Chain A
Amino acid sequence: MQALQFGSKQRLLFGFHHAAQGAARQTAVLICNTWGLEYMRSYRGVRVLAQKLAAAGFETLRFDYSGTGDSQGHSLDARLEHWLEDLVLAARELRELSGKQDIVVIGLRLGALIAEAARQRPGLNARLHIHWDAPSDGASYIALMRQLSDGSDRAKNWRRNRHSQLPPSDGNELQGHAFPAPLAAALTALPGPAPQAASLWLVSSDHSAPPAVAAESVLALGEAAHWQELDWVNTPWVPAAAAGKLASHLAQVLR
């Protein structure tokens, strides 16, 4: 595992390259994070996924979008357009690091929608997009985040003293994460991934793929992810068995 920074001086991105163990396969894997509390919740799980993929022979890169995580940039300056550019930059970085031109993109939750939005961008050109528990579209995802955020505030205020109720959010944040209006508008407008051939849908046991997706394009995971449950928003998501299952599947179907 090698930490790295890449991109421009104005927008330096932070990521990790997980070198393939043993003989490297011809395909490299780029992992696209989800956002906000889901990003925090899934951080260790994404690392485990990268380790499993590397152990199966895939050069793998994971990274933080600009204005999030360890990457540079103020959270209030985060924009979807920047994230789409970040994704293409990350793909280029992965190709340079690995020497592999074939790449597969794994998008977790919102990351699946972001990767899908970048699918046609010059420089990405992934042979396969893998959508892990992809929301049906940006609007439904943001609606869920708002619902969980409101629920969390209500639960906290329920327990807090009358004179120490939480002040209202300033409108530029969601679940404690900066959520500037341009980012909110762009994410809300994101379409869901279309059911097409060059996609694989990973679904946790409490999630489902759109009905139009062919059964052979769905990989069912045995574990529940609890993305929609308030009780779970502060619980780490580390799907080690599911990550192993995906790595084994990819090892069978990719060079």
Chain B
Amino acid sequence: MSAGFTESVLQFGEQGRLFGILTTPTTVNPARPVVLIPNTGFEHRVGPNRLHVQTARALAAAGFCVVRYDVSGLGDSDAPPGQAASSLADSRLLLDVLDRRQLGTGYMVIGLCSGSHDGHQLCRADERVVGLFSIDGYAYRNAKYHQLYWASRLSHPLRSLKNVAGRVLPQYRLLEPRGADAEMIQWPTAVEVAADYQRFVQRRVSMAFVFTGDVHDTYLYADQHYDVFPMLRGAAQLRFLSHIDHTLTRRAAREEMIRYIREWLLKVTP
């Protein structure tokens, strides 16, 4: 095994139907939270362009226990027999399993796209979650978004046509249906998310939000998330990385993201 960490299999749930990989640092610090990385879209726990593997190993080398896992119907996890798939129920089962192992204190979720949704919903339902790192998660347009959008469109009419064309190109669909056996994702309203954030702030949940240049359909300027959700100012980090794409197809982008995640975790944890 590579220096600085070891990897082992986690099978949990009824008849071990759920699957994950636990990456453990050479020395476990039980005061630190355990980091969870759920699926992104339909992709299995490896993540887009192996992002989750690289992130888990880098964070383990920095002293964090990390679990990257498949929710029901994705990767190597089966849907519960006779029941609808629920990534929330899966994640809570995982917390129960990890609690018994006493690998750390609390949990932090790093999620990209549908993984961000999973992290948010887990944090909402379970106070054992003490941190969220969201990449291209929930985003909502506000007045300034529309102002920037139309100013841009009116000054560059050709781009307006490109944007319409882009909408029918299928390369990229955020929060798309995940897989035949997996659950469909429902995006909450901004009012619901605001209420959640208010509770997260009261709970002192550590939060960081990153938006990439591929989500310009909903996100257009650096402080947009702060403007839509003022309670996050001073309570959460926010970055708009317009040069990065949603699945981090450039190695430099993945390295930048992992560096940021690592720095953030080291800042907000013991």
Contacts and interface: CB of A to CB of B under 8 A. Distances in A.
Contacts of B156: 162
B243 A164 contact: yes
Binding site secondary structure of chain B: loop
A156 interface: yes
Interface string A219-232: 00000000000110
Interface in B161-209: 162-163, 165-167, 169-172, 179-180
Contact of B245 (A1, A166, A170): A166
Nearest to A3: B9
Interface stretch (A97-105, A125-133, A171-179): A171-179
Contacts of A12: 1
B214 A152 contact: no
Interface residues of A, number: 42
B25 to A, nearest CB: 16
Binding site secondary structure of chain A: mixed
Which of the four size classes fits the interface of chain B?
35 or more
A210 interface: no
A159 B169 contact: yes
Contacts of B11: 3
Interface string A125-160: 000000000000000000000000000110110111
Contacts of A175: 249
A120 interface: no
Contacts of A158: 162, 165-166, 169
B160 to A, nearest CB: 12
A81 interface: no
B216 interface: yes
B216 A161 contact: yes
Nearest to B1: A12
Interface stretch (A21-29, A67-75, A108-116): A67-75
Given A161-B152, A164-B213, 18 more contacts: A3-B9, A3-B11, A16-B76, A68-B50, A69-B53, A70-B46, A75-B50, A152-B249, A159-B166, A159-B216, A161-B159, A166-B249, A166-B250, A173-B251, A177-B50, A231-B170, A233-B171, A236-B179
27 contacts: A3-B19, A5-B7, A68-B50, A70-B21, A70-B45, A70-B53, A72-B7, A152-B171, A155-B166, A155-B172, A156-B172, A156-B245, A158-B165, A159-B214, A159-B216, A160-B213, A161-B159, A161-B216, A164-B216, A164-B243, A166-B245, A169-B250, A170-B250, A176-B48, A231-B170, A234-B170, A236-B179
Interface of A: 1, 3, 5, 9, 12, 16, 40, 43-44, 47, 68-70, 72, 75, 152-153, 155-156, 158-164, 166-167, 169-170, 172-173, 175-178, 230-231, 233-234, 236, 238
